[in-house]
Amino acid sequence: MSKRNTISKQLLKLASEIEHDILCGVPYAALPFAAVMSVTSGTPMIMKRKETKMYATKKILEGVFEKNQICLVVEDVVTSGGSLLEAVAALRSEGLVVNHAVVVLERQQGGADVLNANGVEVKSLFTMTNLVEILRNAGRISEETVEIVSDHIRECQFGPNEVLERYNEKNDRSVPAV
């Protein structure tokens, strides 16, 4: 089984404990995970574009959905939470109900708290702490690297204001209000 399928299978285990009608991947890195989850489970999937399509359909969401469906968001990494937050805003503005996200790695830099404050509970396969522990126990990283990563997590935290700043820097635009 490919790594992508293995990860998607584990994400599906998290998803099985969360009520949902439809899946949506956060562009772009999480889209393959959401696609494999959708095909494996038979749950419909929609896709959020990074930018609204400026011609033809002019949509931000692609796929078939109905208002008031419960949408589970799929993300690969949460750092500040800005990307996930923007996806949630787009989904909610189209009438979908979003209360949860499943993610591969929660980096423990404040993003999950910001999402929680916006009504989104994040369930992750790994936090940075347990990923570092797994790699250290497997002899794949040194104690020095463990320290460097731990210091970075402690020193580089995001609150609601930093989420907006980081998102603007990365995407040259602002996060819509959720």
Ligand X SMILES: O=P(O)(O)OC[C@H]1O[C@H](OP(=O)(O)OP(=O)(O)O)[C@H](O)[C@@H]1O
**One character per residue 27-66, x = contact with ligand X (rule: CB under 6 A):** xxx-------------------------------------
Give dist(CA 65, CA 12) in Å, integer: 20
Which letter does DSSP use for residue 176 in this model?
Answer: P
Window 99-128: residues binding ligand X (CB under 6 A)? 111
Give dist(CA 106, CA 25) in Å, integer: 16
Percentage helix, strand, coil for the chain under 3-state DSSP, each rounded to 5: 45, 20, 35
Residue number with CB closer to ligand X (142 or 152): 152
Specify burial of residue 13 (Cβ count, 10 A radius: 0-12, 13-18, 19+): exposed
Minimum Å gap between C-beta 144 and ligand X is 26
Of 83, 108, 118, 124, which one interacts with ligand X (CB under 6 A)? 83
Query: Is 25 a residue that touches ligand X (CB under 6 A)?
Result: no
Would you tell me which residues interact with ligand X (CB under 6 A)? Answer: 26-29, 75-83, 111, 166, 170
